[in-house]
Chain A
Amino acid sequence: QSALTQPASVSGSPDQSITISCTGASSDIGDYESVSWYQQHPGKAPKLLIFGVTFRASGVSDRFSGSKSGNTASLTISGLQADDEADYFCSSYTNSNDLEVLFGGGTKLTVL
């Protein structure tokens, strides 16, 4: 099964807002409230940011927010900071026979 579809890269200036999209299907994002988002800095393990589409993980800044419409989920980062420069991955439960968890291909965020 194909990964969830994310843009390869996005960029923004400090203090601006950006949104990263994550497109799936009715067998995953569309039918389940199980979208999560992870941040990964180079050489580090992923860090959970958002779970259950909209809920922030413990200790995560309220500058990070999640949403979903149909088969597409979105991560919005407001008030961009230099340390937000990282890779971002979305994930969802899937009812595919092949597997249980589907990840997006990842989006590289560059803070200009």
Chain B
Amino acid sequence: QVQLVQSGAEVKRPGSSVRVSCKASGGTFGSSSLSWVQQAPGQGLEWMGGIIPMFGSPSYAQSVQGRVTITADESTGTSYMDIHSLRSDDTAVYYCASGVPGTYYFASWGQGTLVTVSS
């Protein structure tokens, strides 16, 4: 089973950008599906988008389309999520999660990265 380790907490100003990384080990990174999930404080989970590294073309939830960029580097087994034009309501814990392409469930999760957007 894939193990996922995410980058550390970030504090950002409104309008800036943030990059969160997710490094995979112990599995076949290239052929897995890698998704990013948002959890605002005290709230539920929201799927933001995903990528299959060997194919490279990400898909996004419409709510974040144009403001979020998901990439994957097969050589390092790392996925990145960039969020641009940060707003206060982007304050949340962001998880990367992996699964088998086409199955839409996530057997492995990163530990989560808290992004705080505050002026």
Contacts and interface: CB of A to CB of B under 8 A. Distances in A.
Interface of A: 3, 34, 36, 38, 45-48, 51-52, 57-58, 89, 91-93, 97-106
A23 to B, nearest CB: 14
A34 B105 contact: yes
Contact of B61 (A38, A47, A98, A105): A98
Contacts of B45: 38, 46, 89, 91, 103, 106
Interface in B37-72: 37, 43-47, 50, 59-63
Given A98-B61, A100-B59, A48 B107 contact: yes
Contacts of A105: 44
Contacts of A104: 44
B43 to A, nearest CB: 8
Nearest to B4: A45
A86 to B, nearest CB: 14
Interface of B: 1, 35, 37, 43-47, 50, 59-63, 95, 97, 103-107, 109-112
A36 B97 CA distance: 14
20 contacts: A3-B44, A45-B112, A46-B95, A46-B97, A47-B109, A48-B105, A48-B106, A48-B107, A51-B107, A57-B107, A58-B1, A89-B44, A89-B45, A93-B104, A99-B47, A99-B60, A99-B63, A100-B59, A101-B47, A101-B104
A38 B37 CA distance: 13
Contact of B104 (A3, A38, A58, A100): A100
A45 B109 contact: yes
A102 B47 contact: yes
A57 B106 CA distance: 10
Nearest to A43: B112
Contacts of B50: 100-101
